[in-house]
A and B are shown apart, each in its own frame.
Chain A
């Protein structure tokens, strides 16, 4: 790496490269790879050339039409039912399929952006060659170039496939989702839809969904704080209990607790919902012991909202404490003992040691992962979806219940009765903004945002 840096000459401007370069250099501005081929960097040159050829084949073949369709999301907006006399049946002339048009439009934009990036890379490489020629430097041979892929440019080798995968399976879908928020893709426009700007944002923030959005947002944040704090705090306590002096078979105890986390959630939570039902085993047990007079409606459709919310947090503790216990165990084992010893010598009780030394230290080490947990809890789909399904019902909400988080509401809007795809895309963007703001604030405060 240092070698390459030293070799770099004061850059020539592209104007200079173009006016003073030889024919191959000039050609490189139009035909990628020309200069590299002339300098016998076969692999690089051919790769550039083939990619450019491939790009233009794609552009002419489908690219142009994809991009032009993207602007309108398809020309035919309404279906037409016609009678087919030959067969004696009705045929539907279908509208444009905007979902596919949108997807391939976004893909075309990504391809375009990738090619522009590659073109700049090509220019830069051409300039390097030009500068090397001008100053009579040695030029890397084809073989050296390839070899460097396993040495100074190892990162390129290792990262190429992952980046392609990330672009295909994360970037493209995310950009697709973002663009969906600016359309009227919903039940009434299920096949063909159009661009409508910020209309869907209006529906969520001030329209018919606003009365649901803000209360659900409030509960989502409260939930995320409570869920993160309770599992963390009690996880630390449990870890300290197991790690405390005199307890034997520590590994065994840890395993007992971790079993709960290991059982797949769609099993444990689905059955937990039955366990807590109005007529479920827990109520029956409490009734038969005489601890309660009436069955408690923990999470049913007509439960008290705050009872249900508290229940959800408690059940989440059941699942979450074992994990946080495991994590804090490792930290406790690695805590510097000298401070604790010193405090003990000064006569501090175990409670004081915990409050002033152990807990702050654990908190310090855990801070970054706590922020991640907080973000994870904002998007904690499983616990709500499988346990309560959003219940109890709330007749002031639209498509959500009292325990619904933004993310489960988003799911309902997409896959439930309402089919408001654009509104749920807006929710997705808003969830992102909220997560980003919170993690930025938190990272700043914990000063852990050094490298991302």
Chain B
């Protein structure tokens, strides 16, 4: 018991020190933290949901928060089915869900429309915009209001085995698949839908918020379908739902995966571990940089939270996503920050995974926040898989794409 207490106290003071350091060095961030410290009257009871594996990290952050706001009582637990299922977990019974919870940005629109979450106050909005990269702020915005506090970015990147492929090989899909094998699951839209974006189609317009702005039923869309069909015959492409296992066994030399698997893959490949941005694809005879979906993880505040606890909930959400919070999550969980200063830290700059994600983000598309994204996820898999396996014939590409576009553009 004593030891346990010591650990908690120790880590709390460690966080406090990092915080002090952050306040001392930063200009804009010191500004904001003094502002929040003036509001000392904040009190209430707040519950917080985070992913199971992250509970220890957030324990530290909550401890520092409670030290700063002694009148706020935070109850930290793991979320039922993980942050990627926030929509259904919260939707099951919003009144029973946590006051503050993690959610990926593509679910924000639907949750905001349904009335599950509260917008940020104008002050908080300003802080988020000032402290984080622009892309993160955009990812939080739905219909002119911000609905979440961003804290991490995710994008698919290319992991490869150095002993099988060289850095030059993996620059383009064609040379990669000529020299080695890439493992990919054509049934996971998160992984393969971006090929449509790479081909030049739009998903919900340029801003990702225009309902009739999708242009997937077009020549570019057909070109992407053709690309999928070509991969079936490509000896260097393996359709697999267990890419990690194939990578370990050496049957594939490269896989496309998100940063959340980086630690697992490092363990698998050991010294042969290498990571970079996605390769270029040949679509319609042109070399195009393959895109990924950018996901920005956020903390949102439940609209069912009692009014007296709202302020405390908003403050907590801001606290766990500030520079110190994002840094802690990067250090302990490898979550790549969106806070400008946290991104500038030397260890982030030296981390190949973080660099690859950051670079890939720059050339990728932010996941739209439309409530209709549910339909996209649901219908796109059959589309890409159908093109890949050939169950959709080339002659039917346009009709199938049109059907898909109609379905996702429905109000």
Cα-based distance from A97 to B95 in the complex (angstroms) = 10
Query: Inside 8 A of A90's CB, which chain B residues have their CB?
Result: 118-121, 145
The verdict on A191 contacting B374 (CB below 8 Å), with A88-B121, A301-B241 known, is: no
Cα-based distance from A385 to B371 in the complex (angstroms) = 26
The verdict on A187 contacting B374 (CB below 8 Å), with A91-B118, A395-B386, A415-B88 known, is: yes
Query: Inside 8 A of B389's CB, which chain A residues have their CB?
Result: 302
The verdict on A397 contacting B382 (CB below 8 Å), with A279-B242, A419-B374 known, is: yes
Asked whether any CB of chain B lies closer than 8 Å to the CB of A190, the reply is yes
Nearest-CB residue, chain B, relative to A301: B187
Asked whether any CB of chain B lies closer than 8 Å to the CB of A160, the reply is no
Q: Which of B240, B377, B385 contacts A279 (CB 8 A)?
A: B240
Asked whether any CB of chain B lies closer than 8 Å to the CB of A63, the reply is no
Nearest-CB residue, chain B, relative to A208: B407
Q: Which of A92, A278, A394, A397 has the most B CB atoms < 10 Å from its CB?
A: A92
Asked whether any CB of chain B lies closer than 8 Å to the CB of A47, the reply is no
Asked whether any CB of chain A lies closer than 8 Å to the CB of B58, the reply is no
Interface size class of B (residues with CB under 8 A): 35 or more
Query: Inside 8 A of B385's CB, which chain A residues have their CB?
Result: 301-302, 393, 395
Q: Closest CB of chain A to B315's CB: distance in Å? A: 10
Q: Please choose the segment from B61-69, B264-272, B285-293, B306-314 that sits at the chain A interface, where 4 or more of its residues have CB less than 8 A away.
A: B306-314
Q: Which of A277, A394, A419 contacts B241 (CB 8 A)?
A: A277
Which chain B residues (287-339) contact chain A, with CB distance < 8 Å?
303-304, 307, 310-311, 314
Q: Closest CB of chain B to A89's CB: distance in Å? A: 4
Asked whether any CB of chain A lies closer than 8 Å to the CB of B364, the reply is no
Q: Closest CB of chain A to B252's CB: distance in Å? A: 10
Asked whether any CB of chain B lies closer than 8 Å to the CB of A416, the reply is yes
Asked whether any CB of chain A lies closer than 8 Å to the CB of B166, the reply is no
Which chain A residues (91-117) contact chain B, with CB distance < 8 Å?
91-92, 94-95, 97
Instruction: Judge whether A278 and B240 touch: CB under 8 Å.
Output: yes
Cα-based distance from A92 to B392 in the complex (angstroms) = 46
Query: Inside 8 A of A190's CB, which chain B residues have their CB?
Result: 91, 114, 116
Q: Closest CB of chain A to B110's CB: distance in Å? A: 7
Query: Inside 8 A of B91's CB, which chain A residues have their CB?
Result: 190, 419
Asked whether any CB of chain B lies closer than 8 Å to the CB of A344, the reply is no
Which chain A residues (53-103) contact chain B, with CB distance < 8 Å?
79, 81, 83-84, 87-92, 94-95, 97
Query: Inside 8 A of A428's CB, which chain B residues have their CB?
Result: none
Instruction: Judge whether A417 and B115 touch: CB under 8 Å.
Output: no
Instruction: Judge whether B392 and A416 touch: CB under 8 Å.
Output: no
* 0 or 1 for each of B244-273: is its CB under 8 Å from A? (1 = yes): 011000010000000000000000000000
Cα-based distance from A92 to B147 in the complex (angstroms) = 12
Query: Inside 8 A of A191's CB, which chain B residues have their CB?
Result: 94, 114-115
Query: Inside 8 A of B239's CB, which chain A residues have their CB?
Result: 278, 300, 302
Interface size on A, residues (CB 8 A): 36
Instruction: Judge whether A92 and B118 touch: CB under 8 Å.
Output: yes
The interface residues of chain A, by DSSP majority, are classed as: loop
Asked whether any CB of chain B lies closer than 8 Å to the CB of A21, the reply is no
Which chain A residues (274-313) contact chain B, with CB distance < 8 Å?
274, 277-279, 300-302
Q: Which of B117, B377, B382 contacts A393 (CB 8 A)?
A: B382
Q: Closest CB of chain B to A321's CB: distance in Å? A: 29
Asked whether any CB of chain B lies closer than 8 Å to the CB of A322, the reply is no
Cα-based distance from A416 to B383 in the complex (angstroms) = 18
Asked whether any CB of chain A lies closer than 8 Å to the CB of B176, the reply is no
Instruction: Judge whether A416 and B314 touch: CB under 8 Å.
Output: no
Query: Inside 8 A of A417's CB, which chain B residues have their CB?
Result: 374-375, 377-378
Cα-based distance from A157 to B368 in the complex (angstroms) = 61
* 0 or 1 for each of B54-74: is its CB under 8 Å from A? (1 = yes): 000000000000000000000
Cα-based distance from A392 to B245 in the complex (angstroms) = 22
Cα-based distance from A398 to B406 in the complex (angstroms) = 13
Cα-based distance from A404 to B272 in the complex (angstroms) = 41
Asked whether any CB of chain A lies closer than 8 Å to the CB of B388, the reply is yes
Which chain B residues (347-383) contact chain A, with CB distance < 8 Å?
371, 374-375, 377-379, 381-383
Nearest-CB residue, chain A, relative to B404: A395
Asked whether any CB of chain B lies closer than 8 Å to the CB of A320, the reply is no
The verdict on A87 contacting B245 (CB below 8 Å), with A190-B91, A191-B115, A417-B375 known, is: no
Asked whether any CB of chain A lies closer than 8 Å to the CB of B409, the reply is no
Asked whether any CB of chain A lies closer than 8 Å to the CB of B391, the reply is yes
Cα-based distance from A268 to B201 in the complex (angstroms) = 43
Nearest-CB residue, chain A, relative to B117: A92
Instruction: Judge whether B371 and A419 touch: CB under 8 Å.
Output: no
Asked whether any CB of chain B lies closer than 8 Å to the CB of A45, the reply is no
Query: Inside 8 A of A415's CB, which chain B residues have their CB?
Result: 88
Cα-based distance from A300 to B385 in the complex (angstroms) = 11
Asked whether any CB of chain B lies closer than 8 Å to the CB of A346, the reply is no
Cα-based distance from A90 to B123 in the complex (angstroms) = 11
Query: Inside 8 A of B381's CB, which chain A residues have their CB?
Result: 301, 393
Nearest-CB residue, chain A, relative to B123: A88
* 0 or 1 for each of A175-203: is its CB under 8 Å from B? (1 = yes): 00000000000011011000000000000
The verdict on A302 contacting B304 (CB below 8 Å), with A94-B115, A188-B371 known, is: no
Q: Which of A81, A88, A418 contacts B119 (CB 8 A)?
A: A81
Query: Inside 8 A of A277's CB, which chain B residues have their CB?
Result: 241-242
- 28 A-B pairs with CB atoms under 8 Å apart are A79-B115, A79-B303, A81-B145, A87-B307, A89-B310, A90-B120, A90-B121, A91-B307, A92-B303, A94-B115, A94-B303, A97-B95, A187-B371, A188-B113, A188-B371, A190-B114, A191-B115, A274-B242, A278-B240, A302-B388, A393-B187, A393-B385, A395-B391, A395-B392, A395-B400, A417-B374, A417-B378, A419-B88
Known: A91-B118, A91-B310. 12 other contacts (CB 8 A): A81-B118, A94-B115, A188-B371, A277-B242, A279-B240, A279-B246, A302-B186, A302-B385, A394-B382, A395-B385, A395-B392, A418-B374
Chain B positions near chain A (C-beta within 8 angstroms):
88, 91, 94-95, 110, 113-121, 123-124, 145, 185-187, 239-242, 245-246, 251, 303-304, 307, 310-311, 314, 371, 374-375, 377-379, 381-383, 385-386, 388-389, 391-392, 400
Chain A positions near chain B (C-beta within 8 angstroms):
79, 81, 83-84, 87-92, 94-95, 97, 187-188, 190-191, 274, 277-279, 300-302, 391, 393-395, 397-399, 415-419
| 3 A-B pairs closest in CB distance | A79-B115, A395-B382, A92-B303
